[in-house]
Amino acid sequence: MAEAERIIGTPDIPEAAGAGPEGAPAAGTPDTEPAAPRGGRRMAVLFTVAALAYLLDLVSKLIVVAKLEHHAPIRILGDWLQLEAIRNAGAAFGFGQAFTVIFTVIAAAVIVVIARLARRLYSLPWAIALGLLLGGALGNLTDRIFRSPGLFKGAVVDFVAPKGFAVFNLADSAIVCGGILIVLLSFRGLDPDGTVHRD
């Protein structure tokens, strides 16, 4: 019973698929699907979500820089929500503007960690969460590399300005949504490899 709880959600393995004593499939048992393609599908979801988040952030920033920068803010919901182009040298929501290079390194490290974690990813919710984190990190990292004032010191373009709250962008939103989803998955005991901890 303990073994059954330990492997909940994990890819099929020969012993659980009716393998014979030598590791070969038992007579009359169809060949099981290899684990790699299942993980490959989760990786495809991760990178698709990341690509969508990144492209939405990139296109929105291009439009904001071309149409909104150096212009008056556009009111969406009166004073409660408006679009206002600003340049942010700090972290998400404008924090730590004196540490631009450090945040650039952190963003790059996050991308590397997610890429390494993707190789053992068998959970669809985790694939979505990590895809949001990856797309958001890539979006803001692109600004820090290519925008002024210079390489790895670029200011991020922010434009969503709720009343009484920091101005942010779609990359920030993707990062926050991905982080919230990861917290929820952790509370449920679901690991990236698909295992479920019942404690």
CA distance 127 to 134: 10
Catalytic residues: 158, 172
Over residues 117-176, the pLDDT tens digits come to: 888 889 999 999 999 999 999 999 999 889 887 777 788 999 999 998 889 999 999 999
- Neighbour count for residue 24 (Cβ, 10 Å): 11
pLDDT at 38: 60
DSSP state of 93: G
Q: Which band of pLDDT confidence, cut at 50, 70 and 90, is reported for residue 104?
A: confident
Poorest-pLDDT segment among 42-46, 69-73, 91-95: 91-95
188, containing H or E segment: none
Gyration radius of the chain's alpha carbons = 22
Q: List, in order, residues 6 or more apart from 68 with CB less than 8 Å away.
A: 74, 83, 84, 85, 159
* Edge-to-edge order in the sheet of strand 81-88: 74-75, 81-88, 156-162
pLDDT at 2: 44
The pLDDT mean for the chain works out to: 79
pTM for this entry: 0.74
> What number is the average pLDDT over the span 106-115?
86
pLDDT at 26: 47
198 contacts 124 by C-beta, under 8 angstroms: no
pLDDT at 135: 95
CA distance 7 to 50: 28
Domain regions of the chain by residue span: 1-33, 35-187
CA distance 9 to 6: 9
Which is more confident, 31 or 84?
A: 84
Which is more confident, 178 or 90?
A: 178
